[in-house]
Structure 1
Amino acid sequence: MRHLFLFFFFTLTLQAQFRINGIVKESASNKALAFASITTNNGINSISDVDGKFEIISSKPITFFYVSYIGYNKTKIDILNNNRFFNIKLVQNTAKLNEVVVATQNAANTIIKKTIALKDTNNPEKKLANFAFKTYNKLIVSANPDSISGKIDSIIVKKTKEGIYFKIDSANYKFKNTVNKRHLFQTEKVSQFQFSNNKLKETILGAKMAGLKQPLYEIIAFNLQSFSIYDSKYELFETKYNSPIAQDALKDYNYKLLDTVAVNGRNAYMIYFKNKKKSKAKGLEGILYIDQNNFAVAKAIMRIRGLLDISGTHEFEYLANENLWFPTHKNFRIIKGQNDDDINFLGGTIQFDGDMENDFSSRKKQPSDYIFLRSESHIFDFEKNTNNTLKNPSFAVAIEKNAFNKEESFWDTYRKDNFDIRNQKTYSALDSIAVRKKIAHRVQLGKKVINGYLPIGFFDMDLRKLFSYNNYEGFRLGLGGITNERLSKYFRMEGYYAYGTKDGIFKGSIGAAAKIDSEANSWLGISYTDDVREIASTSFTIEKKPFKIYDPRPINISTFYNYVSWKSYFETKKIPKTESIWELNHSEIQPKFDYTFSNNNKLYTNYTMTTAMVSLQWSPFSDFMQTPTGQIEIEKRFPKFTFQYTQSLGRLWNNDFDFSKFDFKTEYEKKYLNGQKTSLLFQAGYALGDIPLTHLYNTSPNNITKETIIQRITFGGKNSFETMFFNEFFSNKYALFQFKHAFNRVTLFKKVKPSLVLVSRMAWGNLNHPEQHLGLNFKTLDRGFFESGIELNQIFNGLGLTAFYRYGPNQLPKFEDNIAIKLSYVLNLGF
Structure 2
Amino acid sequence: MKHFLLLFLFSISLQAQFHISGIVKESGSNKTLPFATISTNNGINSISDVDGKFEINSKTTIVSFTVSYIGYNKIKVEVQKNKLFFNLKLTPKTDRLNEIIISNENTALSIIKKTIVLKNNNDPQKRLSNFAFKNYNKLIVSANPDSISGQIDSVFVRKYKQGALYKIDSTNYKFKNTVSKRHLFQTEKVSQHQFSNNQLKETILGTKMAGLKQPLYEIIAFNLQSFSIYDPKYELFETKYNSPIADDAVKEYNYKLLDTVAINGRSSYMIYFKNKKKSKAKGLEGVLYIDQNNFAVSKAIMRIRGLLNISGTHEFEYLPEENIWFPVHKTFQIIKGHNDDDINIFGGTIQFDGDIEQDFKSRKKQPSDYIYLRSENHIFDIQKNKNTPIENPYFTVEINKNAFDKDESFWEQYRKDSIDIRFKKTYSELDSIAIKKKFANRLFFGKKIINGYLPIGFFDLDLRKIFSYNNYEGFRLGLGGVTNERLSKNFRVEGYYAYGTKDGIFKGSIGAAAKINQQANSWLGFSYTDDIREIASTSFSIEKKPYKIYDPRPINISTFYNYISWKSYFESKLIPKTESIWEIAQAEIQPKFNYAFNPKNQLYTHYTMTTAMVSLQWSPFSDFMQTPTGQIEIEKRFPKFSFQYTQSLGRVLNNDFDFSKFDFKTEYEKKYLNGQKTSLLFQAGYALGDVPLTHLYNTSPNNITKETIIQRITFGGKNSFETMFFNEFFSNKYSLFQIKHAFNRVTLFKKVKPSLVLVSRMAWGDLDNPEEHLGLNFKTLNRGYFESGIELNQIFNGLGLTTFFRYGPNQLAKFEDNIAIKLSYVLNLGF
Task: Report the TM-score when normalising by structure 1.
Answer: 0.95
Pairwise CA distance, 1:392: 0.5
On the 8 A contact 1:281/1:673 being kept in 2, the answer is: no
Task: Provide Cα deviations, 1:53-87, integer angstroms capped at 9, x if missing partner.
Answer: 11111223222211111122222222224311111
Pairwise CA distance, 1:448: 1.1
The aligned counterpart of 1:256 is 256
Task: Provide Cα deviations, 1:134-159, integer angstroms capped at 9, x if missing partner.
Answer: 11111111222223356795658999
Pairwise CA distance, 1:35: 0.7
User: In structure 1, what residue type is equivalent to 2:592?
Assistant: K
Determine the C-alpha separation between the residues in 2 that align with 1:177 and 1:744.
40
User: In structure 1, what residue type is equivalent to 2:667?
Assistant: E
Pairwise CA distance, 1:603: 1.8
Pairwise CA distance, 1:578: 0.6
User: In structure 2, what residue type is equivalent to 1:365?
Assistant: K
Determine the C-alpha separation between the residues in 1 that align with 2:768 and 2:147.
73
The aligned counterpart of 1:121 is 121
The aligned counterpart of 1:470 is 470
Determine the C-alpha separation between the residues in 2 that align with 1:155 and 1:328.
51
Pairwise CA distance, 1:827: 3.2
* 1:679/1:362 CA distance change after superposition, 3 Å: farther
The aligned counterpart of 1:639 is 639
Residue 666 in structure 1 maps to residue 666 in structure 2: yes
The aligned counterpart of 1:21 is 21
User: In structure 2, what residue type is equivalent to 1:258?
Assistant: L
The aligned counterpart of 2:791 is 791
Pairwise CA distance, 1:233: 1.0
Determine the C-alpha separation between the residues in 2 that align with 1:591 and 1:629.
42
- Map 1:283-682 to 2 at 5 A: 283-358=283-358, 360-682=360-682
The aligned counterpart of 2:188 is 188
The aligned counterpart of 2:741 is 741
Pairwise CA distance, 1:814: 2.1
On the 8 A contact 1:313/1:332 being kept in 2, the answer is: yes
Pairwise CA distance, 1:632: 0.7
The aligned counterpart of 1:85 is 85
Pairwise CA distance, 1:534: 0.3
The aligned counterpart of 2:101 is 101
The aligned counterpart of 1:706 is 706
On the 8 A contact 2:316/2:328 being kept in 1, the answer is: yes
The aligned counterpart of 2:176 is 176
On the 8 A contact 1:553/1:717 being kept in 2, the answer is: yes
Task: Report the TM-score when normalising by structure 2.
Answer: 0.95
* 1:349/1:386 CA distance change after superposition, 3 Å: farther
- Gaps in structure 2 of 5+ consecutive residues: none
Pairwise CA distance, 1:394: 0.6
Secondary structure at the counterpart of residue 711 of structure 2: coil
On the 8 A contact 1:189/1:207 being kept in 2, the answer is: yes
Task: Provide Cα deviations, 1:268-299, integer angstroms capped at 9, x if missing partner.
Answer: 11111111113335431111111111111100
Secondary structure at the counterpart of residue 604 of structure 1: coil
Secondary structure at the counterpart of residue 108 of structure 1: helix
Determine the C-alpha separation between the residues in 1 that align with 2:107 and 2:4.
50
The aligned counterpart of 1:203 is 203
On the 8 A contact 1:664/1:685 being kept in 2, the answer is: yes
Determine the C-alpha separation between the residues in 2 that align with 1:55 and 1:137.
22
Task: Provide Cα deviations, 1:529-568, integer angstroms capped at 9, x if missing partner.
Answer: 1111001111000001111122111111100011111111
On the 8 A contact 2:623/2:635 being kept in 1, the answer is: yes
* 1:10/1:110 CA distance change after superposition, 3 Å: closer
User: In structure 2, what residue type is equivalent to 1:148?
Assistant: I
* 1:754/1:358 CA distance change after superposition, 3 Å: farther
Pairwise CA distance, 1:212: 0.8
Task: Name which of structure 1's ranges 618-627 and 675-684 shifts more when overlaid on structure 2.
Answer: 675-684
Secondary structure at the counterpart of residue 46 of structure 1: strand
- Map 1:277-288 to 2 at 5 A: 277-288=277-288
Determine the C-alpha separation between the residues in 2 that align with 1:5 and 1:228.
24
Secondary structure at the counterpart of residue 712 of structure 2: coil
Determine the C-alpha separation between the residues in 2 that align with 1:9 and 1:28.
35
On the 8 A contact 1:307/1:674 being kept in 2, the answer is: no
User: In structure 2, what residue type is equivalent to 1:17?
Assistant: Q
Secondary structure at the counterpart of residue 395 of structure 2: coil
Pairwise CA distance, 1:674: 4.6
Determine the C-alpha separation between the residues in 1 that align with 2:167 and 2:611.
75
On the 8 A contact 1:256/1:272 being kept in 2, the answer is: yes
Instruction: Give identity over the alignment, percent.
Output: 81
The aligned counterpart of 1:39 is 39
Task: Provide Cα deviations, 1:98-143, integer angstroms capped at 9, x if missing partner.
Answer: 2212221221122112211221221111111211111111111122
Determine the C-alpha separation between the residues in 2 that align with 1:355 and 1:806.
45
Determine the C-alpha separation between the residues in 2 that align with 1:282 and 1:778.
51
Pairwise CA distance, 1:176: 2.3
On the 8 A contact 2:32/2:51 being kept in 1, the answer is: yes
- Map 1:794-805 to 2 at 5 A: 794-805=794-805
Pairwise CA distance, 1:166: 9.4
Secondary structure at the counterpart of residue 262 of structure 2: strand
- Gaps in structure 1 of 5+ consecutive residues: none
On the 8 A contact 2:289/2:300 being kept in 1, the answer is: yes
Determine the C-alpha separation between the residues in 2 that align with 1:166 and 1:524.
66
Determine the C-alpha separation between the residues in 1 that align with 2:158 and 2:121.
69
On the 8 A contact 2:303/2:310 being kept in 1, the answer is: yes
Determine the C-alpha separation between the residues in 2 that align with 1:96 and 1:781.
74
Determine the C-alpha separation between the residues in 1 that align with 2:728 and 2:359.
47
Task: Name which of structure 1's ranges 519-528 and 789-798 shifts more when overlaid on structure 2.
Answer: 789-798
Pairwise CA distance, 1:663: 1.2
On the 8 A contact 2:8/2:335 being kept in 1, the answer is: no
On the 8 A contact 1:642/1:665 being kept in 2, the answer is: yes
Task: Provide Cα deviations, 1:448-492, integer angstroms capped at 9, x if missing partner.
Answer: 111122222222221111111111111111111112222222222
Determine the C-alpha separation between the residues in 2 that align with 1:178 and 1:332.
24
Determine the C-alpha separation between the residues in 2 that align with 1:697 and 1:158.
68
On the 8 A contact 1:357/1:750 being kept in 2, the answer is: no
Task: Name which of structure 1's ranges 751-760 and 573-582 shifts more when overlaid on structure 2.
Answer: 751-760
Determine the C-alpha separation between the residues in 2 that align with 1:178 and 1:772.
76
* 1:167/1:707 CA distance change after superposition, 3 Å: closer
Secondary structure at the counterpart of residue 95 of structure 1: coil
Determine the C-alpha separation between the residues in 2 that align with 1:20 and 1:42.
13
On the 8 A contact 2:8/2:333 being kept in 1, the answer is: no
On the 8 A contact 2:154/2:166 being kept in 1, the answer is: yes
Task: Name which of structure 1's ranges 759-768 and 121-130 shifts more when overlaid on structure 2.
Answer: 759-768
Determine the C-alpha separation between the residues in 2 that align with 1:64 and 1:515.
66
Secondary structure at the counterpart of residue 442 of structure 2: helix
Task: Name which of structure 1's ranges 276-285 and 444-453 shifts more when overlaid on structure 2.
Answer: 276-285
Pairwise CA distance, 1:21: 0.8
Pairwise CA distance, 1:427: 1.5
Pairwise CA distance, 1:24: 0.9
On the 8 A contact 2:148/2:172 being kept in 1, the answer is: no
User: In structure 2, what residue type is equivalent to 1:124?
Assistant: P
Pairwise CA distance, 1:5: 8.0
CA RMSD of aligned residues (A): 2.3
Determine the C-alpha separation between the residues in 2 that align with 1:772 and 1:111.
74
Task: Name which of structure 1's ranges 401-410 and 678-687 shifts more when overlaid on structure 2.
Answer: 678-687
Determine the C-alpha separation between the residues in 1 that align with 2:119 and 2:426.
42
Determine the C-alpha separation between the residues in 1 that align with 2:511 and 2:787.
41
Residue 767 in structure 1 maps to residue 767 in structure 2: yes
Secondary structure at the counterpart of residue 115 of structure 2: helix
Secondary structure at the counterpart of residue 186 of structure 2: strand
Secondary structure at the counterpart of residue 251 of structure 1: helix
Pairwise CA distance, 1:653: 2.2
On the 8 A contact 1:622/1:637 being kept in 2, the answer is: yes
User: In structure 1, what residue type is equivalent to 2:171?
Assistant: A
Secondary structure at the counterpart of residue 760 of structure 2: strand
User: In structure 1, what residue type is equivalent to 2:274?
Assistant: K
Task: Provide Cα deviations, 1:718-746, integer angstroms capped at 9, x if missing partner.
Answer: 11111111111112222222222333333
